[in-house]
Every structure is written in structure tokens, then in C-alpha cells.
Amino acid sequence: MGPAELEELHSRVTAGDAPPPWVVTPTGRAYKRWCDEHPERAEQVRTARQAPQVRYRKPRFTSRYSSVDGRGFKGAFSGRMAVASAPGVTQTSTNYGCGFNPWVVGATAPAVGVPLGVHAQTGQDVSGDVLSWFKAGIIGNPSAFVLSLPGLGKSTLIRKQFIGAVAQGHVPIVAGDIKGEYVAVTDAMVTPAGKRGQVIRLGHGHGHLNPLAAGALGEAIPVMRAHLEELHARGEDNTRLAEAITETEESVHSRQVTMVMALAELIRGRTLADFEGLVISASLRSMRESGQFSFSSPPLLRDLIDFIRSGSDGLRRALFVADETEYRRTVQTLVQTLESLTDGVMGQVFAEHTTTKIDLDAPAICIDVSAISRGDQSLKAGVLLACWSDAYGAMEAAHVLADCGLANQRYFLAILDEMWATLGAGAGMVQRVDELTRLNRTDGTGLLMITHTGRDLETLPNEVDVKTAMGFIERAGMVICGGLPAGELDRLKGVLQFSDAEAAMITAWSKGAPIERTQLRQEKKRPLGQGMFMLKPSKDGTHGIPIHVQLTHTERATNIHDTNTRLREFLDAAPSSQQAAIA
């Protein structure tokens, strides 16, 4: 044997893979001579002999292993199981077991309410709306706050809930559609009796709105009075109905005074003096007491101005003025401010009687203010204030008539899209929305608030309004998040808790479509996060529901969700020959 073969034999012996060869054999004699020539090798052999005799050798019958099945490998010494025990099973909810792959986020998919789309991971159908989820106990407040970057489908999601509300017999109200995105869907709503959704257009050349109009709440007063007189004719008495009439009359009067003062403050740029509010209130009462005007036949701003100009003994006594000259000096500034509401920055929108009154029998109501130019901030603010007052009065009128047994109970869905513009419209809007978020359960009204990011709420003019507006997110029954930047999620951490997987999904949805070198492909790719939303029905860390909004064939055919109508010709145009040549 050569030195290399002896070296290999020595390695196997010291490793325990082979016993030392017998000395009487030729291999043993050669190995002994080699060890004598290399004393250090002989020492290694002696050490290996003194080590424990337990050796872990390679399996002998490796080559005999055959195919594997549920009990293991077949063959001798393969470790095959005679009895295959069932594996251990642990049962838990997807909420608590979300860390086990592949349930990285909660996979519950409620089927309660309006069909919205499918679960983004499981493909299971997902349904939901604020009133249905409130009825089922999923959320404690029938309201939702929607946050998403532009162009990712948040208005489409809201319109689906708009359609679903009509299907369930509820009345959706958009009190101030700034971009006209709900006009088409409102006009498409038709009841089995043929009643269409009501679209009210306001702006320069698009109708008038009388701030002194009592609206639907004022029109409810004659109905209640007629019913009370009918009861008296039959010899019956209804104290509760009489009290409701008095309460409604005072509520309408308060709304008239508040509306005029809000518009006057908007024009003047500062708060009215206390005595000026007294003049407005006392004048309206005196005009009704004279019999010339009533809640069902309200005065115009011009009538109010003329009454204040002429004055009365009651006004002079209330203002504690000595003579006519002092009275005119006292009310001069107020009259000048009210005159500016009839023609000036506001135009003549508030100078005439209301062109179209809110119809409570309509299946859906949309007040379209998109005709008002973006730069006409004063008029837009005044119209939004008046629209919200009118819409809120209509909802109260329905509830008053239902409480008196004169009409069926109606439920409403109030929609505040582009909330940044609504809240910033003027003094009183934040308080009006704040009132609605706190009392919407009492008023039988669902509420949807939509804006781009939480930063929109931080742009309000004073800190009190900012803190009040941030409370809208905290009080919302659920929060719906579309694609948002990472910084926005950090801003929401004080209100919502997102898991790492949820945060990764939401930020990924904020990306645009994949970049391509050319535009020659026929199929246009949409943004990755278009139609993707995370529904967070609670704020205690419970995992949200990622959904992909799906449109029905009817929705696609009617094109009611298309908000790119101004760019449609550009988007649908094929690349020109010059662009193709460059590409």
C-alpha cells in the first residue's frame, strides 16, 4: 500500500469508521510500519482506542430505502411507523391566530349590508354600510370616516353605499356636492312608483335659496296644526302634539336667526354684536305677528331689511333708543351688511325665494353647488351653510312628523364628500358637523365623512376647530383607509392602530401604475391601489378587512362612477403617429 492509501486508512481508523487492521495481515504489517515511522500517528490510534466505544455510524441499509408514503420510508431500518397518529389541532380565531402564515391580517368578511366587493386576500364577498353594521352590532355608531389619496376610488365606494341606501329604503342626502360627482347617481335613482332622485342646482344663474325659508321643517307646522284642529273637532285633545308644534315653531325661528347671522358674519368678517341678533329675531317675530308672513309663507331678506329700516315701537323699546335718529344710527351697520347679502359678493342667490324645495318623498337628494367657481369663496361658504341648514331641517321635519304619527319613520344617510371644503366654508360649519357626529344615532341618520388625509383637518383657521375636527375620526363608527403615505399612518397612530402588514398594504396602495417606456399597449394599467380599501370597524387594534371594490355590470354600463369626464377624450385617445414614431 502506498502512503496515500495508508493516510486514508488512518483517517478512517481514528474517526471510528473502520477498526485497526490485524497485524498478521499484509495491510496490518504495512500500517504498523507506517505508524512506527510516524509516531504522532501512532499516538492518534492509541487515543482513538481509549475513547468510548459508542459510535454513530452511517446507516447500513441506505440503498434499501424505497418510496415514501404517509407512514414513512419503506424498507428495513427505515423507521417506518406502524400506526400514524393524528397531528395536534389547535382552534383559534383569525384575529388571535393572525400571526400564523398565511393569515397575516384578519380574514373575516362580513356579508351584512351593501355589497362592496371581495376580500383582497381570500376573494370572499364583502358587504357593509354604516346603518346595517350598526343594526348588526358590528359598530357602535352609524358613521364612517374615509381617508384616501385622490384618484383611488373613494367616491366610488361612497356611491356604492349611496345606491345601497336607496335600495334599503333610506334617503341619502348630499348637502353640497362641490364637484358634481353625485348628480348622475342621484338622477339614476327611481322608485317603483316612478319617483326620481332630486337634484337641486345652486349658483350664479342656477336657482335661488332663501335663508329665511322655513324649509321642510316649516312646512311640517301646518300639517301638525291641521291634525290638531281635526282632533279638537272630534272633541279630543293632544297635549303632546300641541307641545311639538310650539317646539317646532321655536326651532324654525332659531334656524332663521342663526342662518341670517351666519351669512352676515361671513360677509362682515367678524362676529355680529349681541343687539344685532336681537334686532333680527325681534323683527322676524313682529313680521309673523302682523299676519303678513308665516312659516309656510316666509319673508325675503329684502322684506326683513325694509322692516328694520322702518322700525317699530317694539324694536326701539328693545334697543333702548331715545329717538328715530339714534335708532337709525344703531341699525345702520346691520342694514348695510344685510343689503350686501342681496347683491354684491354673494350675487343674488339669497335675494329671492327658494327655487326648488327639498322633497322628502324623493329616494335621494343632491344639492349641486359645482356651478360656483372655485375663487368665489364667500358665495360657496354661504351656500354650503344654507344647504346644510336646509338639509338638517328636512331630516328633523321627517322625524317630527313620524313622532306625531303623521308619517312613517324615515332614515337618512348624510354624505360629506370633500370635507376639507365643507368645514372650511365658514364659521359654524365645524360645529354643525360636530353636532351631527354626536347626535346622528338620536337623529336616525348615518354619516359618511370623506377627505384625502388627516392633514386636511389641520388646515382649519383656528385651533379649536382643528381639535374638534380631529374628534370626528375618534367618534366615527369605522374608519376606511385607501392608499395613504407612511407619514399619514404615523399621524393616525393616536387614533388607530395598524399592524405592520396593514401599514405595508395601505402604503403600497398609494403607488401609481407601473412605469412603461411606451404607451403603445392597448390596455391601460390602473394605479395599484385603485379600489383597494382597509375597513377598520374598531380602534382597539383589531385587524381590519382589506377589500377590493367591484363594480356591477349596470354600474359600468351607466358610467355613474366616471369622475374623469373632462379628460375622457384625452384618456381614450390612441397615441398619435408622431408619438408612435418617437416611441
- Share of residues in the chain with pLDDT > 70 (%): 83
> Rounded mean pLDDT of 368-379?
80
Cα Dmax for the chain: 147
> What secondary structure does DSSP assign to 247-302, as a single string?
HHHHHHHHHHHHHHHHHHHHHHSSPPPHHHHHHHHHHHHHHHHTTS--SSSPPPHH
Name the β-bridge partners of 548. 118, 532
- Who wins on pLDDT, 406 or 69? 406
- The cell for 172 is 341619502
d(CA 383, CA 369): 8
Is the model's pLDDT at 180 over the cut of 80? yes
d(CA 566, CA 563): 8
| pLDDT for position 98 | 60
Q: Which three-class secondary structure state does DSSP give residue 472?
A: helix
Domain layout of the chain by residue ranges? 3-55, 110-170+411-513+526-583, 197-408
Cα-based angle 501, 503, 508 (whole degrees, multiple of 5): 95
Sign of the CA dihedral with 245 first, then 251, 257, and 262 last:
negative
Name the β-bridge partners of 365. 173, 198
Distance of CA 156 to the CA centre of its chain: 11
**pLDDT band at residue 498 using 50, 70 and 90 as cut-offs:** confident
Q: Which three-class secondary structure state does DSSP give residue 446?
A: strand
Tally Cβ neighbours within 10 Å of residue 415: 25
d(CA 302, CA 211): 11
Tally Cβ neighbours within 10 Å of residue 444: 17
| pLDDT for position 533 | 94
- Share of residues in the chain with pLDDT > 90 (%): 21
Residue 522 φ/ψ, nearest 5 degrees: -70, -40
Is the model's pLDDT at 74 over the cut of 60? yes
The pTM of the whole model exceeds 0.75: no
d(CA 351, CA 211): 9
Query: For residue 405, with 0-12 CB atoms within 10 Å meaning exposed, 13-18 middle and 19 or more buried, which class applies?
Result: exposed
- How far CA 132 is from CA of 127, 410, 537, in Å, comes to 10, 15, 13
- How far CA 283 is from CA of 276, 286, 473, 552, in Å, comes to 11, 5, 41, 55
Is the model's pLDDT at 157 over the cut of 90? yes
| pLDDT for position 78 | 74
Instruction: Answer whether 394's CB lies under 8 Å from 362's CB.
Output: no
d(CA 60, CA 259): 97
d(CA 366, CA 186): 7
B/e letters for 445-480, b = 16+ CB within 10 Å, e = fewer, are bbbbbbbbbbebbeebeeeebbebbbebbeebbbbb
pLDDT in tens, 408-432: 888 999 998 877 776 766 556 677 6
What is the dihedral angle through the alpha carbons of 525, 530, 532, 533, rounded to the nearest 10 degrees? 170
Q: Which amino acid is at 258?
A: T
| pLDDT for position 338 | 92
Is the model's pLDDT at 107 over the cut of 70? no
Query: For residue 270, with 0-12 CB atoms within 10 Å meaning exposed, 13-18 middle and 19 or more buried, which class applies?
Result: exposed
| pLDDT for position 522 | 52
- How far CA 53 is from CA of 129, 347, 392, in Å, comes to 75, 107, 93
Residue 460 φ/ψ, nearest 5 degrees: -65, 155
| pLDDT for position 327 | 92
Instruction: Answer whether 156's CB lies under 8 Å from 531's CB.
Output: yes
pLDDT in tens, 323-370: 889 999 999 999 999 998 888 777 788 888 888 888 888 999 999 988
Is the model's pLDDT at 52 over the cut of 70? no
What pairing do the DSSP bridges indicate for beta strands 171-177 and 365-368?
Answer: parallel
Which range, of 178-192, 328-342, 380-394, averages the lowest pLDDT?
380-394
The domain defined by 110-170+411-513+526-583 folds into Rossmann fold (3.40.50)
What is the dihedral angle through the alpha carbons of 194, 197, 201, 206, rounded to the nearest 10 degrees? 0
- Who wins on pLDDT, 490 or 539? 490
d(CA 31, CA 50): 19
Name the β-bridge partners of 172. 413
Tally Cβ neighbours within 10 Å of residue 103: 18
Distance of CA 333 to the CA centre of its chain: 44
Is the model's pLDDT at 76 over the cut of 50? yes
| Residue whose C-alpha is closest to residue 543's, from 580, 494, 506, 490 | 506
Q: Which amino acid is at 378?
A: S
- Who wins on pLDDT, 102 or 211? 211
